[in-house]
Amino acid sequence: MSSDRAQQNRGKDRAKIPGDFPAAPLTLEGYSILHQMFRVRRRELRTLESAKRDAAIDEASKMFGEMARREDGETALFSALGHKGDLMVVHFRRSFEELAQAEHALATLALSDYLEPTTSYLSVIEIGLYEATVALYRKLVEQEIGPHSPQWKSEIESEITRQREKISPRLFPKIPARPYLCFYPMDKKRDGADNWYRLPIEDRQRLMHDHGMVGRRFAGEVTQIISGSIGFDDWEWGVDLFADDPIVFKKLVYEMRFDEASASYAKFGPFYVGLRLEPSALGKLFSS
């Protein structure tokens, strides 16, 4: 028997997931993330006395240096390219409360008088458990365990706990030290026949598996962090790509455009690209 025929027969033997099962896959959440983009008000900055400007830069460099050395959620700076802004600040924190503290600390800097916010993005690191969800749901169907029953809830909680222990480092990572960052938000389409949210969970699991296999081919060249923003911001997910060579951003995103999950169901927002900026080098961005 051919491998394709064997796979088809195995598929027939699998329990079909009923429509009354939850449509959304299980997810794990980690660090809260805030991206802040600013434009430097260079005209106003040029009118500032050099001593005051240097003092403001030193104050900001010190604060960002302390944030960069945090052990449990840090901050990184990037010099943004293009008209969308000059400075991109990325905060990883344990909670929204800690993000608010970081945002407030930045706002109290003397240098903030010369930073014009252009946009921001709020999200939470998210790992979607499509594979584990479909496997668990099929097991529950076979065991005739209905959704939201006490036994159902126990099985779900056990799976969540097992998965969290397995992949905890991916939920609370360090901000990759690679020199280039590409950030963009994205949605899944809800347009007529191209409606991601009308697909059965098994179909979405297959598409996401194939989508992930494309990304894995770039594993040594790029570090990817996916964050969920449904209910938090204007798009549904945020994508951070970190690399040593920015050309990999073009190659990865281009190749993924041909993947079915992207070609049929993905909508991309604006792209932001930046170069890593050490806090001690902040003065270079504000040189007039």
Residue type, 199: L
Distance CA 287, CA 193 (A): 52
Cβ(243)–Cβ(184) below 8 Å: no
Is 274 a member of any domain? Answer: no
pLDDT in tens, 176-212: 999 999 999 999 999 888 999 999 999 999 999 999 9
Query: What are the angstrom distances between the C-alpha of 68 and each of 86, 100, 222, 255?
Result: 19, 16, 21, 33
What percent of the chain stands above pLDDT 90? 88
pLDDT band at 286 (very low <50, low <70, confident <90, very high): confident
The predicted model gives 257-270 an average pLDDT of 94
- The number of folded domains in the chain is 1
State the chain's mean pLDDT as an integer.
Answer: 93
pLDDT over threshold 70, residue 89? yes
Is 199 a member of any domain? Answer: no
pLDDT in tens, 101-134: 999 999 999 999 999 999 999 999 999 999 999 9
What confidence score (pLDDT) does residue 52 get?
A: 95
pLDDT over threshold 60, residue 140? yes
Exposure string over 5-33, b if 16+ CB within 10 A, otherwise e: eeeeeeeeeeeebeeebeeebbebebbbb
pLDDT over threshold 70, residue 10? no
What confidence score (pLDDT) does residue 215 get?
A: 84
What confidence score (pLDDT) does residue 287 get?
A: 78
The values of phi and psi at residue 243, to 5°, are -150, 165
Question: The tokens 């980690």 sit on which residue?
Answer: 30
The predicted model gives 235-245 an average pLDDT of 98
Is 66 a member of any domain? Answer: yes
Is 99 a member of any domain? Answer: yes
Of the residues 184, 197, 254, 272, only one is catalytic, namely 184
Residue type, 132: A
- 31 is annotated as an active-site residue: no
Is 151 a member of any domain? Answer: no
Is 73 a member of any domain? Answer: yes
pLDDT in tens, 39-70: 999 999 999 999 999 999 999 999 999 999 99
The four Cα atoms 121, 126, 128, 129 give a dihedral, to 10 degrees, of -170
Look at the chain and count its residues: 288
CATH number for the domain including 44?
3.30.70.1030
- The range of the structural domain enclosing residue 110 comes to 30-125
